[in-house]
């Protein structure tokens, strides 16, 4: 599980160590230099003679890079640096002593053209606002050089790619795209949230001993394969359908019969002990003909999935969805509200055991109904803020779908899941996610009902569903067949199996 902390919290955690004289910058620089050497070797190049270009800002981020360049120069690397202003004094002295060449901005292009590695030390967590001159011009030129080179350079960002928002992942102006980000101490939310995440490349965390001084709650969490394995209730000899979770699914309509099929297929694939389908008669026949194990008689369920493909303009369907929502809240069992059912929260508050799964458009509609309008673009530009606002206004757990899915309850950590984003933007993928999420929530339904509150569990399970959905889309992509929602549903068991077998992450 990746944990990310806001830059202010990182600074506060660094302070006591710096006061004790712990050489944090030295450790940071050593880790940065080691990562550069590892990557150069992985490319099959020899370290001595490799050309490395450091882009150095005037703050401690630049200081990290200057000390790293000094270490690299001592290992025979041909190291040069471009400064944006007055550099970190001790770093500059160390780099000069080690033979690092300081070039003026006019030679940037030629140095950038020949250097195998660029190290970005322009700004780190001290960045304020969009990247500004002279860093801005440097990034503009580097991106031009990168495009024109026959072989791309290896770009390694110190702490953060310069130009992204450390805490929210926004990219207000230009940013330098890195292949690897060597982040100091602990990851920051901007490395996991879109669009910042796309500039970070692979994240390498450098432990600096900050843990004991960081807040107990991270600002953001991200689920990995190992966490799925840890949270998954693998059936055993005394399992039965209720211990595995029975999920009720009220989805689909004459207009959207496919939503019924996709959501129930995903619910089955997600490991539910049984799926009760409560949609219209016409779609029941379709569902049961495809999945004879699905039952249509009503009885005990431990989670509901409501709304995918339901025509909420149909008063009978809408009142049925509203009734089931109310019953579930009274019984304390978790509910997934998808698609049109999300509009119910325009006027009622709910516990965090209710999970809504909007895309940006549906969230914009909900926020407008709640008197806090945000445009679809504003939501996509800062998904974490929009999801938190909706959770706070409604009380629900919000799983906001996008290039990075974010999930949060009103007062619990934020989850962010990237992965296979593009492939999931296909008709019906939301129906699949809703069914999968319902199936996972059902496995925890009794526990949630006993707890009487969400306690952050629905958000964590929503992140797990998003992770599995993303992995299933990536697996579906690998089949070479068209990536349609039914293929994603079909790949869910393999995605779960992979995670349960994982030993990494």
Ligand X SMILES: NC(=O)C1=CN([C@@H]2O[C@H](COP(=O)(O)OP(=O)(O)OC[C@H]3O[C@@H](n4cnc5c(N)ncnc54)[C@H](OP(=O)(O)O)[C@@H]3O)[C@@H](O)[C@H]2O)[C@H](O)CC1
Task: State the residues that interact with ligand X by CB under 6 A.
Answer: 14, 18, 24-25, 28, 57-62, 64, 123-132, 135, 158-159, 184
CA distances from 11 to 91, 188, 193 (A): 20, 12, 20
- Does residue 203 belong to the site contacting K ion (CB under 5 A)? no
Q: Which is nearer to ligand X, 66 or 228 (CB)?
A: 66
Residue 124 is classified by DSSP as S
DSSP for residue 172: S
Q: Which residues contact 282 (CB under 8 A, 6 or more apart)?
A: 254, 257
124 vs 435, beta carbon nearer ligand X = 124
Q: Which residue lies nearer to ligand X by CB, 130 or 224?
A: 130
Is there a binding annotation on residue 106?
Answer: no
CB 79 within 8 A of CB 103: no
Q: Return the residue matching tokens 């807040």.
A: 215
Q: How far is the CB of 33 from ligand X (least distance, A)?
A: 13
Tell me the closest approach of the beta carbon of residue 489 to ligand X, in angstroms: 43
Q: CB of 167: closest distance to ligand X in angstroms? A: 12
State the nearest-atom distance from the C-beta of 498 to ligand X, in Å. 35
When asked if residue 200 is in the footprint of K ion (CB under 5 A), the reply is no
- Partner in contact with 72, chosen from K ion, ligand X, none, beta carbon below 5 to 8 Å by kind: none
- Cα dist. 301→209, 231, 453 in Å? 47, 21, 18
Q: d(Cα 309, Cα 365) in Å, to the nearest integer?
A: 17
Peptide bond into 312 cis (omega under 30): no
Our CB check for K ion shows the closer of 31 and 437 to be 31
Angle between helices 281-290 and 257-269 (to 10 degrees): 40
- Between CA 445 and CA 66 the distance in angstroms is 54
Which residue shows structure tokens 């250097």? Answer: 115
Q: Cβ 398 to ligand X, closest distance in Å? A: 30
CA end-to-end span of the chain: 7
Q: How far is the CB of 163 from K ion (least distance, A)?
A: 9
Say if residue 127 carries a ligand binding annotation.
yes
- The one of ligand X, K ion, none whose footprint includes residue 120, by CB under 5 to 8 A per kind, is K ion
From the list K ion, ligand X, none, partner contacted by residue 487 (C-beta under 5 to 8 A by kind): none
User: What letters, b where the CB count within 10 A reaches 16 and e where it falls short, cover 375-392?
Assistant: eeeebbbbbbbbbbbbbb
Count of alpha carbons within 13 Å of 10, Cβ hemisphere only? 23
Nearer to ligand X, 24 or 192 (CB): 24
Least distance (Å) from ligand X to the CB of residue 3? 18
Q: Which is nearer to ligand X, 141 or 365 (CB)?
A: 141
Whether residue 129 is annotated as binding a ligand: the answer is yes
Smallest distance from the beta carbon of 492 to K ion, in angstroms? Answer: 38
Q: Which does 150 bind (CB under 5 to 8 A by kind): K ion, ligand X, none?
A: none
Block residue for tokens 């004094």: 89
358 phi and psi angles, rounded to 5 deg: -80, 155
Which residue carries 């407008």 as its tokens?
Answer: 368
Q: Which is nearer to K ion, 177 or 471 (CB)?
A: 177
63 in a known ligand binding site: yes
Helix axes 60-74, 89-98, angle to 10 degrees: 20
**C-alpha to C-alpha distance for 52 and 237, rounded to whole angstroms:** 59
- 383 labelled as ligand-binding? no
In the complex, minimum distance from the CB of residue 183 to K ion, in angstroms, rounded to a whole number = 10
Residue 177: both structure tokens together: 């795209």
Q: Which option in K ion, ligand X, none does residue 412 bind, with CB closer than 5 to 8 A by kind?
A: none
Q: Which element (helix H / strand E) includes 2?
A: strand 2-4
Q: How far is the CB of 142 from ligand X (least distance, A)?
A: 14
Q: Pick from 72, 158, 208, 416 the residue near K ion by CB under 5 A.
A: 158
| Cβ atoms of residues 351 and 383 within 8 Å | no
What's the rounded Cα separation, in Å, for the pair 202 and 215? 25
Q: Which residues, in sequence order, are bridge partners of residue 220? A: 4, 414
Cβ-based nearer residue to K ion, 50 or 162: 162
Pick the stretch among 83-91, 155-163, 202-210, 447-455 that binds K ion (CB under 5 A).
Answer: 155-163
Nearest CB to K ion, comparing residues 168 and 412: 168
Q: What is the greatest pairwise CA distance in the chain?
A: 81
371 annotated to a ligand binding site: no
> Where in 64-123 is the site for K ion (CB under 5 A)?
120
Give whichever of 57 and 258 is closer to ligand X, judged by the CB atom.
57
Strands 303-306 and 246-250: parallel
Q: Which residues bind K ion (CB under 5 A)?
A: 120, 124, 157-158, 162
List, as residue ranges, the binding site for K(+): 61, 120, 162
List, as residue ranges, the binding site: 60-64, 120, 124-130, 159, 162, 259, 309, 359, 430-431
List, as residue ranges, the binding site for AMP: 430
List, as residue ranges, the binding site for (6S)-NADPHX: 60-64, 124-130, 159, 259, 309, 359, 431
């Amino acid at each position: 599980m990746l944990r990310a902390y806001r830059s202010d919290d990182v600074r506060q955690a660094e302070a006591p160590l710096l006061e004790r004289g712990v050489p944090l910058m030295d450790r940071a620089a050593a880790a940065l230099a080691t990562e550069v050497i590892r990557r150069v070797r992985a490319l099959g190049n020899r370290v001595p003679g490799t050309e490395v270009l450091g882009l150095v800002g005037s703050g401690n981020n630049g200081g990290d890079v200057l000390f790293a360049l000094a270490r690299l120069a001592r290992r025979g690397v041909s190291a040069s640096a471009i400064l944006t202003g007055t550099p970190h004094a001790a770093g500059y002295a160390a780099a000069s002593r080690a033979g690092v060449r300081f070039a003026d901005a006019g030679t940037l292009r030629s140095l950038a053209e020949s250097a195998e590695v660029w190290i970005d030390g322009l700004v780190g967590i001290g960045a304020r606002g969009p990247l500004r001159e002279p860093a801005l011009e440097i990034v503009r030129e580097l991106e031009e050089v990168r495009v024109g080179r026959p072989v791309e350079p290896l770009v390694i960002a110190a702490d953060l790619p310069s130009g992204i928002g450390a805490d929210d992942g926004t990219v207000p102006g230009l940013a330098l795209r890195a292949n690897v980000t060597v982040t100091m101490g602990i990851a920051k939310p901007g490395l996991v949230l879109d669009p910042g995440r796309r500039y970070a490349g692979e994240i390498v965390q450098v432990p600096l001993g900050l843990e004991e001084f960081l807040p107990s709650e991270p600002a953001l969490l991200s689920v990995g394969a190992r966490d799925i394995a840890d949270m998954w209730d693998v059936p055993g000899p005394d399992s039965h359908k209720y211990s595995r979770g029975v999920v009720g699914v009220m989805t689909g309509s004459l207009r959207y019969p496919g939503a019924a099929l996709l959501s129930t297929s995903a619910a089955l694939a997600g490991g539910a002990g049984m799926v009760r389908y409560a949609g219209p008669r016409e779609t029941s026949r379709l569902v049961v003909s495809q999945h004879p194990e699905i039952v249509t008689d009503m009885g005990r369920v431990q989670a509901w999935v409501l709304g995918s493909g339901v025509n909420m303009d149909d008063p009978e369907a809408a009142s049925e969805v509203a009734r089931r929502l109310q019953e579930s809240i009274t019984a304390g069992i978790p509910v997934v509200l998808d698609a049109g059912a999300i509009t119910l929260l325009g006027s009622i508050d709910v516990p965090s055991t209710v999970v809504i799964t909007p895309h940006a458009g549906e969230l914009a509609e909900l926020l407008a109904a709640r008197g806090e309008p945000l445009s679809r673009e504003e939501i996509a530009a800062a998904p974490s803020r929009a999801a938190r606002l909706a959770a706070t206004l409604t009380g629900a757990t919000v799983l906001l779908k996008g290039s990075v899915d974010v999930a949060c309850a009103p007062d619990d950590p934020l989850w962010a899941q990237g992965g296979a984003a593009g492939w999931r933007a296909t008709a019906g993928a939301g129906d699949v996610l809703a069914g999968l999420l319902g199936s996972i929530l059902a496995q925890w339904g009794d526990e949630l009902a006993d707890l009487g509150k969400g306690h952050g569990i629905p958000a964590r399970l929503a992140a797990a569903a998003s992770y599995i959905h993303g992995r299933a889309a990536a697996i579906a992509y690998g089949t070479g067949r068209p990536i349609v929602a039914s293929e994603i549903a079909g790949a869910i068991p393999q995605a779960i199996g992979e995670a349960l077998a994982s030993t990494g992450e």
